[in-house]
């Protein structure tokens, strides 16, 4: 038996690369399958929603099945009887918290939209998960917009901005990839010492913390703040990118290097 009992992997850029063949490396699929056979559980911890993730997994043709999903960085689902069912207590509390928070900030959204439109070319919209979502043309534009939005967040208790590359949306500070991972860890009766977490972008930082996982990893393609955060906590940054990098990190932690 290995000391890794729970794996939490981001999806795009960490596990999955759409134009590679296969999109999730065979070696990584085999590693996950072996760990699951030994009793470990696997979480895909992603910013995607259910339909988007299911479509991508179907196209990838993977042979292994995640035991849990964390969707839109906050909702938790468990695999049961060939489908993914929500964890009611967690998801209902998450929905209530977001509904209350977003009701408080909704009157301020038009002014934020006007500020962005006056200065940048960005696609701005509302969806089921945030009253303000945006996609910018460049990371530089997103840096400037994020600075403005974070200044606003400091005035609103529990509000934060979740960013991944040129995408961003509002969220409740208590619900993220890290706290969702902690909830699953608690439900399984595990400690952080048994948890492996891997990610590549800014929205992965909440779970790439030794508060939630003792075995931290980032592939070579991870953005500099993620690589720095993993290294500062004694984690492993792979020489390989995407799924091959996760496979490399698992070899490290399952071998003498991670002992």
Q: How confident is the model at residue 257 (pLDDT cuts 50, 70, 90)?
A: low
Q: Check pLDDT > 70 for residue 258.
A: no
Cα-based distances in Å from 20 to 105, 231, 242, 243, 245: 41, 27, 10, 10, 14
Express each pLDDT in 4-61 by its tens digit. 999 999 999 999 988 888 889 999 999 999 999 999 999 999 999 999 999 999 988 8
Express each pLDDT in 156-168 by its tens digit. 999 999 999 999 9
What's the CATH code of the domain at 10?
3.40.50.1000
Would residue 219 count as lying in a domain? yes
Looking only at the bridges linking them, the beta strands covering 122-127 and 215-218 are unpaired
Place of tokens 């439900």: 187
For residues 67 and 190, state if they share a domain: yes
| DSSP designation for 107 | G
Q: Check pLDDT > 90 for residue 199.
A: yes
Domain that residue 140 falls in: 91-172
Mean pLDDT of 91-117: 98
Q: Check pLDDT > 80 for residue 225.
A: yes
Q: Which pLDDT value is given to residue 158?
A: 98
Q: Which of the listed residues 153, 172, 191 is the one where a domain comes to its end? A: 172
For residues 69 and 100, state if they share a domain: no
Would residue 86 count as lying in a domain? no
| DSSP designation for 193 | G
Q: For the chain, how big is the Rg over CA atoms in Å? A: 18
Would residue 81 count as lying in a domain? no
Average pLDDT in the chain: 95
For residues 158 and 136, state if they share a domain: yes
Query: Within the chain, how many helices (H) and strands (E) appear?
Result: 8, 12
Q: Which residue in 58, 61, 63, 70 sits closest to 11, CA to CA?
A: 70
For residues 160 and 187, state if they share a domain: no
Q: Which residue in 10, 6, 2 sits closest to 198, CA to CA?
A: 10
Q: Looking at the whole model, is its pTM more than 0.85?
A: yes
Would residue 101 count as lying in a domain? yes
For residues 69 and 185, state if they share a domain: yes
Q: Are 135 and 122 in contact (CB under 8 A)?
A: yes
Q: How confident is the model at residue 106 (pLDDT cuts 50, 70, 90)?
A: very high
Express each pLDDT in 72-95 by its tens digit. 999 999 999 889 999 999 999 999
Q: Rounded CA gap, 51 and 148, in Å?
A: 32
For residue 257, the SS3 value is helix
Q: Which of the listed residues 152, 172, 192 is the one where a domain comes to its end? A: 172
Q: Which helix (H) or strand (E) holds 140?
A: helix 139-153
Q: How many Cβ atoms are within 10 Å of 180's Cβ, its own excluded?
A: 28
The total domain count for the chain is: 2
Q: Rounded CA gap, 40 and 259, in Å?
A: 18
Q: Which pLDDT value is given to residue 39?
A: 94
């Amino acid at each position: 038996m290995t000391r890794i009992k729970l794996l939490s992997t981001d999806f795009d850029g960490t596990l999955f690369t759409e134009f590679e063949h296969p999109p999730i490396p065979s070696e990584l699929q085999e590693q996950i399958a072996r760990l699951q056979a030994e009793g470990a559980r696997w979480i895909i911890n992603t910013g995607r929603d259910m339909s988007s993730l299911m479509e991508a997994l179907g196209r990838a043709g993977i042979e292994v099945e995640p035991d849990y999903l964390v969707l839109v960085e906050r909702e938790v689902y468990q695999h049961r009887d060939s489908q993914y069912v929500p964890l009611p207590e967690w998801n209902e509390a998450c929905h209530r918290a977001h509904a209350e928070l977003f009701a408080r900030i909704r009157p301020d959204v038009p002014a934020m939209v006007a500020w962005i439109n006056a200065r940048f070319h960005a696609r701005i919209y509302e969806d089921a998960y945030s009253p303000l979502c945006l996609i910018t043309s460049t990371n530089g534009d997103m840096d400037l917009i994020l600075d403005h939005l974070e200044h606003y967040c400091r005035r609103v208790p529990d509000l934060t901005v979740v960013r991944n590359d040129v995408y961003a949306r509002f969220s409740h500070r208590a619900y993220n990839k890290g706290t969702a991972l902690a909830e699953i860890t608690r439900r399984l009766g595990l400690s952080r010492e048994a948890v492996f977490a891997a990610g590549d972008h800014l929205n992965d930082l909440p779970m790439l913390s030794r508060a939630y996982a003792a075995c931290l990893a980032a592939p070579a393609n991870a953005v500099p703040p993620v690589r720095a955060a993993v290294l500062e906590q004694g984690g492993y940054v792979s020489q390989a990118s995407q799924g091959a990098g996760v496979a490399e990190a698992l070899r490290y932690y399952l071998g003498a290097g991670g002992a």
